[in-house]
Structure 1
Amino acid sequence: MTESTIHPTAIVAPGAQIGAGVKIGPFCMVGENAVLHDGVELISHVVVDGRTAIGADTRIFPFASVGHQPQDLKFHGEESRLEIGARCTIRESVTINPGTEGGGMLTKVGDDCLLMAGSHVAHDAIVGNNVVLANYVGIAGHAVVGDYVRFGGICAVHQKVRIGSHAFIGAHSMVDGDVIPYGMAVGNRARLAGLNLVGLRRASLDREAIHRLRAAYRMIFSSEGTLRERVDDAAVMFKDESLVQDVVAFIASAKDRPLTLPRADSDEE
Structure 2
Amino acid sequence: MAKIHATAIVAAGAELAEDAEVGPYCIVGENVRIGARTRLLKHVVVEGHTEIGEDCEIHAFACLGGPPQHLAYKGEPTQLVVGSRNIIREYATMHIGTPGGRGITTVGSDGLFMGQSHVAHDCIVDDNVVLAHAATLGGHVHVNKFVFVGGLAAIHQFSRVGPHSYIGGLAAVTKDVIPYGSVWGNHAHLEGLNLVGLKRRGFSREVINDLRAAYRLLFADEGTLQERIDDVARVFAGSEQVMEIIDFIRADANRPLCLPHVDD
TM-score, scaled relative to structure 2? 0.98
Equivalent of 1:158 in 156, 159, 164 = 156
What SS class does the counterpart of residue 86 from structure 1 fall into?
coil
Q: How does 1:27-46 map to 2 (within 5 A)?
A: 27-46=25-44
2-side partners of 1:16 and 1:66: how far apart? Answer: 14
Equivalent of 2:131 in 133, 136, 153 = 133
Q: How does 1:1-269 map to 2 (within 5 A)?
A: 3-265=1-263
What SS class does the counterpart of residue 186 from structure 1 fall into?
strand
2-side partners of 1:255 and 1:167: how far apart? Answer: 18
2-side partners of 1:190 and 1:95: how far apart? Answer: 24
Which string of whole-angstrom CA distances, capped at 9 and with x for unpartnered residues, describes residues 114-152 of structure 1?
000000000001001000000000000000000000011
The structural deviation recorded for 1:214 is: 0.5
What SS class does the counterpart of residue 242 from structure 2 fall into?
helix
The structural deviation recorded for 1:28 is: 0.3
Gaps in structure 2 of 5+ consecutive residues: none
What SS class does the counterpart of residue 181 from structure 1 fall into?
coil
1-side partners of 2:228 and 2:151: how far apart? Answer: 33
Partner amino acid for 1:74? Answer: A
What SS class does the counterpart of residue 219 from structure 1 fall into?
helix
2-side partners of 1:209 and 1:45: how far apart? Answer: 46
2-side partners of 1:21 and 1:93: how far apart? Answer: 24
The structural deviation recorded for 1:226 is: 1.1
1-side partners of 2:147 and 2:263: how far apart? Answer: 26
2-side partners of 1:166 and 1:50: how far apart? Answer: 31
What SS class does the counterpart of residue 100 from structure 2 fall into?
helix
2-side partners of 1:189 and 1:68: how far apart? Answer: 29
1-side partners of 2:89 and 2:261: how far apart? Answer: 35
Gaps in structure 1 of 5+ consecutive residues: none
Partner amino acid for 2:110? Answer: D
Partner amino acid for 1:149? Answer: V
What SS class does the counterpart of residue 106 from structure 2 fall into?
strand
The structural deviation recorded for 1:206 is: 1.4
The structural deviation recorded for 1:265 is: 3.7
The structural deviation recorded for 1:223 is: 1.1
What SS class does the counterpart of residue 66 from structure 2 fall into?
coil
Instruction: Extract structure 1 runs of 4+ deviating beyond 3 A.
Output: none
1-side partners of 2:59 and 2:120: how far apart? Answer: 19
Partner amino acid for 1:172? Answer: L
What SS class does the counterpart of residue 108 from structure 1 fall into?
strand
2-side partners of 1:264 and 1:69: how far apart? Answer: 41
Which string of whole-angstrom CA distances, capped at 9 and with x for unpartnered residues, describes residues 196-225 of structure 1?
000001110111011011100011111111
Give RMSD over aligned pairs.
Answer: 1.0
How many residues in Structure 1 have an aligned counterpart in Structure 2?
Answer: 264
